[in-house]
Structure 1
Amino acid sequence: MTVFAVEYRYASGTESAASRLDEVRPAHRAWLAEQAEAGTVLASGPYEGGASALLIFRAEDRSALDAVLAQDPFAEAGLIESTEATPWKPIIGRLADAVTA
């Protein structure tokens, strides 16, 4: 199982995009909570300013990760401008403990 650091950059530039993010956010957070319960999401949260976020996922490989990310209500609503996913190996701390447990 691989851990991925995923960065989302949200659609921006218009008032309607911000409004749409606010509208879809409860479904997005409910989906993240389900993924966390399943052990797929280890952590997530927006960067200061709210235009982007960091999400830590666990998946078999990049294609499995992409399949999960496509189910995010933000993605389904076209509210993610870009996604960058990098394999990451936590060594020290609680996330490292969660990965090796």
Structure 2
Amino acid sequence: MAIFAVHYTYGPAKAAVRDQHRALHREWLAEEFKAGNVLMTGPYPDGSGALILVRGTDLDEAEVFIANDPFNAHQAIDGVRVVEWTQVYGPFTD
């Protein structure tokens, strides 16, 4: 399976929506991490967004998968970019 980097962009106008749905978002991430679909996740320290690494067979599957994040369902994100990522060194090799 391939690895995809998901970049979320956050803006100040949707901060209250993110605050309202953060618990559901993190619960979903935790479940998907345990299932092996999410490899790592975390926000950028400046509050501008977050990075999520996910496994998928192709870009379409990764985009459909990330659409299930409660943050997406509740329109708490200003932008989403999903790109295939190639690890050179690190823990996610098969």
Q: TM-score, normalised on structure 2?
A: 0.92
Gaps of 5+ in 1: none
- Percent of paired sites with the same residue: 36
Please, what is the CA RMSD of the aligned residues? 1.2
SS of equivalent to 1:80: coil
1:11-36 Cα offsets, whole Å, 9 max, x none, are: x233xx21221110010000001111
| Structure 1 position 58, deviation (Å) | 0.5
Gaps of 5+ in 2: none
Show structure 1 runs of 4+ deviating over 3 A: none
Residue of 29, 32, 36 corresponding to 2:29: 32
SS of equivalent to 1:95: coil
Count of residue pairs brought into register by the alignment: 94
Q: Distance in 1 between matches of 2:36 and 2:63?
A: 16
Residue of 42, 45, 49 corresponding to 1:48: 45
Residue 6 of structure 2 corresponds to 6
Larger Rg over CA atoms? 1
Q: Distance in 2 between matches of 1:52 and 1:13?
A: 11
SS of equivalent to 2:9: strand
Q: Distance in 1 between matches of 2:19 and 2:46?
A: 14
